[in-house]
Amino acid sequence: MSVGLVLTQALNGLQLGILLFLLAAGLTLVFGIMNFVNLAHGSLYMMGAYFAAAVFDRTGSFLLAGAVAIPATMVLGVVVERIALIHLYSRDHLDQVLATFGLILFFNELVRIIWGPASVYMNAPAALSGTVNLFGLPYPSYRFAIIATGLAVGAGLYVLIHRTRIGMLIRAGATHPEIVAALGVNVRRLNTLVFGLGAALAGLAGLMAGPIVSVQPGMGEPILILTLVVIVTGGIGSIRGAFYGALIVGVVDTIGRAFLPTLLREFLERSLAQAAGPAIASVLIYVLMAVVLAIRPQGLFPVRHG
């Protein structure tokens, strides 16, 4: 187990964490400001990946794929919000969960009809197909680009939410929607804006994940569940919580899968370690979440009020 291998896996964990953050940010914003649980967020990610793959397939240009996929996902999110979800804001969480569950079934079947049940492939842009040299360690440029893009988006979100007028309204709307409405702000439009922003981030995540995962029906669900773990661990409604939670979950999951089976072999019998290693590694993040909740039910970085 060399230092280079550990570093590579840590970077892979960081990259998964960044993808999770893009999804968690949208989900947690929508929850924080509208008190709305959107399980179909994973479907938006899937649609983003399919839009990107479809454009890439026709044009071969990754930039063009992004230029189409991100706005298209945003528009799709806003349309879905206006048609169905807007009626659910005042309902309880059970109704929201159930309706968005129905949307997941719909979108999964829709892509199966349009693009077929098999995986669709897209390549990383040619300029990013090589490796970068990180202190003598070769690392795929594309994965490095994901990390860089994610960090830039994270910084941009921070500025947007803490330094701009829109961000101020979003923060105010999360805690005191009635007062914000009374001050003359169109809260409905603000809601749609936040939802569209979340959808665009999901589309961006789908675009960037396209070349490294298989684009197939149902691809949104596993990552949605990881995202839920992230926002519960980080503290529901908190962007800061989503960021740190995503990095923790991404790194713990990747490092656990990479090294736990080998590590267990030091203590356990070979056959037992081989059987238990992958199983324990795959439940590691859920154990982490359970421990966090047992100690701090509100999450690691809850929203600070006041």
Partner 1 sequence: MRNVTPSRIVAAVLLVGLGLVPVIAAAIGEPYYITLFTRIVIFAIAATGLNLILGYGAMVSFGHSMYVGIGAYAVGILSFHGIGNGWAQLAVAIAAGIVFAVVIGLVCLRTGGVAFIMITLAFAQMVYFLAVGLKEYGGDDGLAIGARSDFGVFSLASNTTLYYVAFAVLVLVLVVFERLVHSRFGMVLRGCRSNERRMAALGFPTLRYRLVAYVISALVCVIAGMLLANLARFAAPSYMAWQASGDLIVMIVLGGMGTIVGPAAGAVALLVLEEILAGITTHWMIVLGPAIVLIVLTAKKGLYGYLVGREATRPPPADERP
Smallest separation, CB 35 to partner 1 (Å): 8
In contact, 249 and 20? CB cutoff 8 Å: yes
Q: Check residue 238 for interaction with partner 1 (CB under 8 A).
A: no
The SS3 of residue 140 is: strand
Q: Check residue 229 for interaction with partner 1 (CB under 8 A).
A: yes
Q: Check residue 112 for interaction with partner 1 (CB under 8 A).
A: yes
Q: Check residue 55 for interaction with partner 1 (CB under 8 A).
A: no
Q: Check residue 302 for interaction with partner 1 (CB under 8 A).
A: no
Which of 71/302 has CB closer to partner 1?
302
Q: Check residue 94 for interaction with partner 1 (CB under 8 A).
A: yes
Q: Check residue 290 for interaction with partner 1 (CB under 8 A).
A: yes
* Start-to-end Cα distance in the chain: 48
Q: Check residue 93 for interaction with partner 1 (CB under 8 A).
A: yes
Q: Check residue 279 for interaction with partner 1 (CB under 8 A).
A: yes
d(CA 246, CA 231): 8
* Nearest CA-CA partner of 195 in 75, 60, 104: 75
Which of 3/294 has CB closer to partner 1?
294
Burial class (CB in 10 A: 0-12, 13-18, 19+), 302: middle
Locate tokens 């529901």: which residue? 236
Smallest separation, CB 48 to partner 1 (Å): 19
φ and ψ at residue 215, rounded to 5 degrees: -85, 110
Burial class (CB in 10 A: 0-12, 13-18, 19+), 18: buried
Which of 94/126 has CB closer to partner 1?
94
Burial class (CB in 10 A: 0-12, 13-18, 19+), 207: buried
Smallest separation, CB 207 to partner 1 (Å): 24
Smallest separation, CB 106 to partner 1 (Å): 3
Smallest separation, CB 73 to partner 1 (Å): 19
Burial class (CB in 10 A: 0-12, 13-18, 19+), 83: exposed
Which of 61/109 has CB closer to partner 1?
109
Smallest separation, CB 280 to partner 1 (Å): 8
The contact mask relative to partner 1 for 189-228 (x = CB under 8 A, - = no) is --------------------------------x---x--x
In contact, 19 and 209? CB cutoff 8 Å: yes
Give Rg (Cα) of the chain: 20
- Reading the block at residue 138, the tokens are 């070769």
- In the chain, the largest separation of any two C-alpha atoms, in whole Å, equals 68
Q: Which stretch binds partner 1 (CB under 8 A): 67-75, 95-103, 169-177, 203-211?
A: 95-103
Q: Which stretch binds partner 1 (CB under 8 A): 10-18, 137-145, 159-167, 231-239?
A: 231-239
Locate tokens 């129905």: which residue? 102
User: What's the angle, vertex CA 164, arms to CA 159 and CA 170, rounded to 5?
Assistant: 95
Residues that bind partner 1 (CB under 8 A): 31, 37, 84, 87-88, 91, 93-95, 97-99, 101-110, 112-113, 221, 225, 228-229, 231-232, 236, 275-276, 278-280, 282-283, 286-287, 289-290, 293-294, 297
